Structures are given as structure tokens and as C-alpha cells.
Structure 1
Amino acid sequence: MTIYAMTASPTVAPERSSQVTTQKYPNYKVIVLNDDFNTFEHVAACLMKYIPDVTSDRAWELTNQVHYEGQAIVWIGPQEQAELYHQQLRRAGLTMAPLEAA
């Protein structure tokens, strides 16, 4: 009786990549749209009230941009904060564009 030995070829494990790719969460844009019913004063006051660190001068710049260009990006940042600011401005009566990734 002849016994044949089975030769196993060595198993080669694929090399593991030591690279770690980190992905940042996307930022979102809060955009106010022009309308025919909000006053300049109301828009500027809302921006100062709800958007952090918006000064009076910056609020008026953004308000003018909304009026003359039809819209202005008033804040860019993480989704949860963007949703909050968007909701607060909308509830204050401003016309808002849907949130969009930056």
C-alpha cells in the first residue's frame, strides 16, 4: 500500500493596510432667502439673536445680501447645529432654503 502525502501550499494572508482614513462629518449651510414680507430690521434682529457671534454690522451685511442677491449663507457648520439655527430662523418667520451640505 502506498501512502501519498498531501502537500499543502502555505496560506498567504493578505497584507493589512495600516492606513486609517478619517472622514469628517459634512458641514451644512443655513441659507436665508429673500421674501416680500420680512423687514430688514426683522431679518437682522433674527440673525443677531439666533446665529452665534453675528454682530450688528454682519447681520446688516447678510440682510442686504439676502435682499439684493436673493439669498445669503448665514452659517456653516455641523448638521445638528445647522438644523437648530434653521428651525429657529424659520419659526421667527424668515424664508429658509432647505439645509444643504457644504
Structure 2
Amino acid sequence: MNVTSPETTSILDRLSREAPYPNARVIVLDDDVNTFQHVVDCLCRIIPGMGSDRAWTLAHRIDSNGSAEVWSGPLEQAELYHQQLTAEGLTMAPIERL
């Protein structure tokens, strides 16, 4: 028997509207191991919509500032991109939730 009360439905509806899916930032850190070309290749291959010009700009920012945000958006995608970039040998900051 399936019992649904109006109070339960309204609480669940209210919670789902009040708790949006979390977003996060993916940040690559500077290191003395990876070349500019490797960073650019990884960013272009892993980050959707990443063009070569943007990837080179980010690689230079990583080198000059010590880090750069390479992607931000839904947490689940951020975790995937973070894992893939780490697997390619890039030095990554912990995922930052927004």
C-alpha cells in the first residue's frame, strides 16, 4: 500500500527547490614537471569546448600566477574533469565547491 500525505509531498518539494545542485571549480596548479604543450593538450582533450587559444592562455596563467581555474560548473562534472586531468599528470588543487 502506497501512502502519501500532503505534508510529506510539500516538504520534499520545498527541499528540492531550496537545495540546488552544487557547483565547483577545477583549478590546475603550476609545477616543474608538465610542459606547456602537455597542459594545452590535456585541457583541449578533456575540458568540453576548450579551444587551443584558450588553453594556451590558461597555461600561461598557470605558469605566471601559480594556478588557474580551467572549468566551473556542476560538481559531478568537476569531479570527472579533475580526475581525468590528475590521471594525465597535471598538478591539481582540491575541487572548490561554489
Band of TM-score, shorter chain: 0.7 to 0.9
The amino acid that maps onto 1:50 is: I
Structure 2 residue aligned with 1:53: 49
Task: Give how far 1:24 is off.
Answer: 1.5
Which stretches in structure 1 are left out of the alignment for 5+ residues?
A: 1-19
CA RMSD of aligned residues (A): 1.6
Which stretches in structure 2 are left out of the alignment for 5+ residues?
A: 1-13
Determine which of 59, 66, 78 is the counterpart of 1:63: 59
Aligned length: 85
Moved over 4 A (4+): none
Radius of gyration: which is bigger? 1
Q: 1:66-85 maps to which residues of 2 (within 5 A)? A: 66-85=62-81
Identity of aligned residues (%): 57
Give CA-to-partner distance per residue, 1:33-79, whole Å, 9 cap, x none.
00001000000100000000000000001101100000000000111
The amino acid that maps onto 1:43 is: V
The amino acid that maps onto 2:93 is: A
Is the helix fraction higher in 1 or 2? 2
CA distance in 1, matches of 2:52, 2:20: 32
Q: 1:6-45 maps to which residues of 2 (within 5 A)? A: 20=14, 21-45=17-41
Task: Give how far 1:23 is off.
Answer: 2.9
